Copies of this chain bind each other. A is one copy, B any other.
């Protein structure tokens, strides 16, 4: 087994000359900062602010996964996605994950296990996504969708998920990334 390489030596953070919100709303905000580069030069840096998210890989006792067909207004496509959503202020990521799972799919997790989380767009935002593997999911109740969500639920075998991934048909990063981690973790646990 290969040793885990060290993280890179941390660079000193940029000095911040000014931070200014050019837009604020309860949903998201946009900051335009003035930072001092290592060269001493001043530079404008935009930072998009949005609350952290949680995403779930829901697996049933028979090994099938619960995905949702979901319409996304920004790009206009309807795609298969993992249940996911933003955390409420101060909400525990695991509880938020269970809440989103129940709201979007109607399933409840038997147990919840952390998968690696991620920064979806680290160059422009500190937005972070917590990811979980929900084992032994069982159907609990009809779904309770928010008004803006158009969703329907479908179960997929592991083989179907792999076929979709390898065909590049799970273009939602919040879906493909946790599923690929889940495949590796599952192989390790079985192997």
Contacts and interface: CB of A to CB of B under 8 A. Distances in A.
Contact of A22 (B23, B32, B72, B150): B23
Interface residues of A, number: 89
Interface string A1-37: 1111101111101100000001101011010110101
A113 interface: no
Query: How many monomers of this protein are in the complex?
Result: 2
Given A177-B176, A180-B180, A171 B2 contact: no
A91 interface: no
A78 B8 CA distance: 6
Contacts of A41: 147
Contacts of A5: 80, 156, 160, 163-164
Given A43-B148, A75-B119, A173-B119, A124 B50 contact: yes
Contact of A148 (B45, B167, B184): B45
A11 B71 contact: yes
